[in-house]
């Protein structure tokens, strides 16, 4: 597509870019539908939609192996509950997780492409993605180049995402928008549009690092873009919230937004994820009715 084509795509979108309208829509959805979704069945689904995440400077092969082993033990201890959807780690640990992980329906996810800033040479980003996939990653989470986006260089943004998508080969690619830095509904909408038309399999709110994390405001705009894109192309793109989603209440709120904007079809771990480190214990405690610190 030409540069003008991307500008046209953004300009043609019917998704609202009005911040007040987005806030009002979110409030209305939660007021009308949150209570009906705050159930044990939904909590179980949400447990199975978690990308269990460790992204610390102190991560090591041994600590990541122990982290992964917990997921193996969970399946043995709680066979009636769903396992998490994926284990998300830095790319140099892909092979560790792949080697230790025994649960067949849990994916290996790696943040890549110079996470969390996306500031490096494209050759470095491509190599990192390729090495993560070679190490066993099923899913790759990259960060949209916000500098180029905010400069209005849409072609550069699209070219980079497209090249990284190619480097993913058969792995699923999630594009992190860093919505806490984009801030406005217009920026979040436009970044979402560029990402989905560049081949993103998921769009994700945040890195959870430098800027504010996930927000219901961003989730609503992103889901509206996914809906509009699906209606135009027939291709389903997933949604992932990440960065600060720690409580059961927050998780149910995101579930409610996804359900009301995108519908029942998106309530599947192949199309809806929550990136979290502490949420799994909170969800498990809610399901079992007692405080559990398993993970």
8 A C-beta contact, residue 64 and residue 97: yes
8 A C-beta contact, residue 106 and residue 87: yes
* C-alpha–C-alpha distance, residues 41 and 186, integer Å: 35
8 A C-beta contact, residue 262 and residue 256: no
* Strand, helix or coil for residue 101: coil
8 A C-beta contact, residue 137 and residue 169: no
* C-alpha–C-alpha distance, residues 108 and 225, integer Å: 27
Known catalytic membership, residue 5: no
Known catalytic membership, residue 70: no
* C-alpha–C-alpha distance, residues 113 and 49, integer Å: 24
Catalytic one of 125, 174, 240, 269: 240
Longest dimension (CA), the chain: 56
Number of Cβ within 10 Å of residue 32's Cβ equals: 11
* C-alpha–C-alpha distance, residues 117 and 140, integer Å: 15
123 CB-near residues (< 8 Å, 6+ apart): none
Catalytic one of 141, 165, 174, 259: 141
First and final CA of the chain: distance in angstroms? 45
Catalytic one of 165, 174, 204, 259: 204
* C-alpha–C-alpha distance, residues 59 and 110, integer Å: 13
Structure-token pair, residue 37: 């979704």
Known catalytic membership, residue 28: no
Structure-token pair, residue 273: 């994820």
Provide the annotated active-site residues. 141, 204, 240
């Amino acid at each position: 597509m030409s540069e003008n084509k991307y500008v046209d795509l953004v300009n043609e979108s019917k998704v609202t870019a009005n911040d007040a309208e987005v806030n009002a829509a979110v409030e209305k959805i939660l007021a009308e539908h949150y209570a009906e979704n705050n159930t044990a069945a939904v909590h179980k689904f949400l447990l199975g939609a978690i990308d269990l995440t460790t992204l610390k400077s102190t991560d090591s092969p041994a600590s990541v192996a122990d982290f992964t082993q917990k997921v193996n033990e969970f399946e043995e201890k709680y066979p009636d509950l769903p396992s998490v959807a994926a284990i998300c780690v830095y790319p140099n640990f892909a092979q560790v997780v792949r080697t230790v992980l025994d649960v067949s329906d849990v994916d290996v996810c790696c943040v890549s492409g110079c996470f969390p800033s996306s500031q490096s040479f494209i050759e470095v980003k491509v190599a990192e993605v390729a090495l993560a996939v070679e190490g066993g990653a099923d899913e790759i989470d990259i960060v949209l180049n916000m500098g180029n986006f905010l400069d209005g260089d849409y072609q550069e943004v699209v070219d980079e995402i497209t090249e990284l998508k190619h480097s993913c080969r058969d792995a699923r690619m999630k594009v992190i928008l860093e919505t806490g830095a984009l801030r406005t509904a217009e920026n979040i909408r436009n970044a979402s549009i560029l990402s989905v038309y560049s081949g993103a399999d998921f769009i994700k709110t945040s890195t959870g690092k430098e800027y504010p994390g996930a927000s219901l405001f961003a989730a609503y705009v992103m889901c509206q873009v996914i809906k509009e894109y699906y209606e135009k192309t027939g291709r389903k793109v997933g949604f992932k919230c990440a960065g600060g989603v720690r409580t059961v209440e927050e998780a149910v709120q995101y579930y409610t937004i996804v359900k009301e904007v995108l519908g029942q079809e998106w309530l599947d771990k192949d199309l809806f994820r929550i990136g979290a480190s502490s949420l799994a214990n909170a969800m498990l405690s809610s399901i079992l009715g007692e405080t559990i610190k398993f993970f």
